[in-house]
Amino acid sequence: MSLIIVVKFTLCSLILGLISAKNDTSEIFLTDIISDKKKYDEHIINRSIGFHEITGFKQSDSSNGIILVHGFYPLGWRSKGFEWAEPIKNFSKAGLPMWLYRYDWNQCPSITAMQINSDLATLLEKNKHLESLIIIGHSFGGLIVTLFSESWESTFPIDAHVIASGLAKSKFDRKYLNCENPKKTKYYISKNVEYKQWRTIKNQDGIFKRLNYDPQIVTFINGETTLLPKKWKGTRVGHNFSILVVSDIILSDLLEKNKRIF
């Protein structure tokens, strides 16, 4: 049995690739990430496809690592990746190796999930000190992390977190007409993945509030769900701010775990 995958390259994808390559570096330096939205230069996202290590902070534990998977950005969106600026700085406090996974959001999500699976095997081969990984996907990136979590067959332990992601079965965007629609009502998570979905309150989420249903509501076999609060530290929890909220929670858990160890 053979699988034939036809990938359609659009002009949009080509332009995006050229823009990314122009500013690409193998690493993302923490001190180069701008937290002022008016001055932000898309440093986080303007790079080639694949893993990019985030450096420039003290790493105290190399046995566990963090991988960040961004969402979808419409053509012309001027602050691509900015929603990750503060969460990245937050995660750096854990002292763990950290990578951003850059992918082509115009590509079929099922193909991207397969690509992460393959690229992750290479990353682990190069970083044999790693004993476990935390993978965090936001929005469209959450769909990709969920598909990855279903297909992960390795015994290497993965802790997956999916934030504000539309997973429910629905009509696929026309840009993906040549793709298999991977969205469904039930997901079967691999036994080697600890999977957690973080839902926003639909009416507070700028992406979901106009829909007549909540696309975050699905069933997981071997997964759990948490509904995020209306506010966090006095700020309304919306689609993008939800990343910072979850980063706070994960960071707190990691620091508490380190206290118990040492």
User: What are the pLDDT tens digits along the chain (262 aa)?
Assistant: 333 333 333 344 444 444 444 445 579 999 999 999 999 999 999 999 999 999 999 999 899 999 999 999 988 888 999 999 999 999 999 999 999 999 999 999 999 999 999 999 999 999 999 999 999 999 999 999 999 999 999 999 999 999 999 999 887 776 677 788 889 999 999 999 999 999 999 999 999 999 999 999 999 999 999 999 999 999 999 999 999 999 999 999 999 887 765 4
Residue span of the structural domain in which 116 resides: 11-261
Note the pTM of the prediction, 2 decimals. 0.89
Count structural domains, the chain.
1
Phi, psi dihedral angles at 218 (to 5 degrees): -145, 175
Residue 3 included in any domain? no
Please, are residues 69 and 45 in contact by the beta-carbon 8 Å criterion?
A: no
Residue 111 included in any domain? yes
Which CATH number do you get for residue 44?
3.40.50.1820
Residue 236 included in any domain? yes
Residue 1 included in any domain? no
Residue 152 included in any domain? yes
pLDDT at residue number 260: 63
Residue 148 included in any domain? yes
Residue 133 included in any domain? yes
Residue 246 included in any domain? yes
What DSSP assignment string belongs to the chain? -------PPPHHHHHHHHHHHHT--SEEEGGG----TTT---TTT-S-SEEEEEESS-----SEEEEEE-----TT-TTTTGGGHHHHHHHHTTT--EEEEE--TTS-HHHHHHHHHHHHHHHHHH-TT--EEEEEEETHHHHHHHHHHHH--SSS-EEEEEES---S--PPPGGGTTS-----SEEE--TTEEEEEEEPPGGG-TTTTTSSS-TT--EEETEEEEEPPSEETTEE--TTHHHHHHHHHHHHHHHHHHHHH-
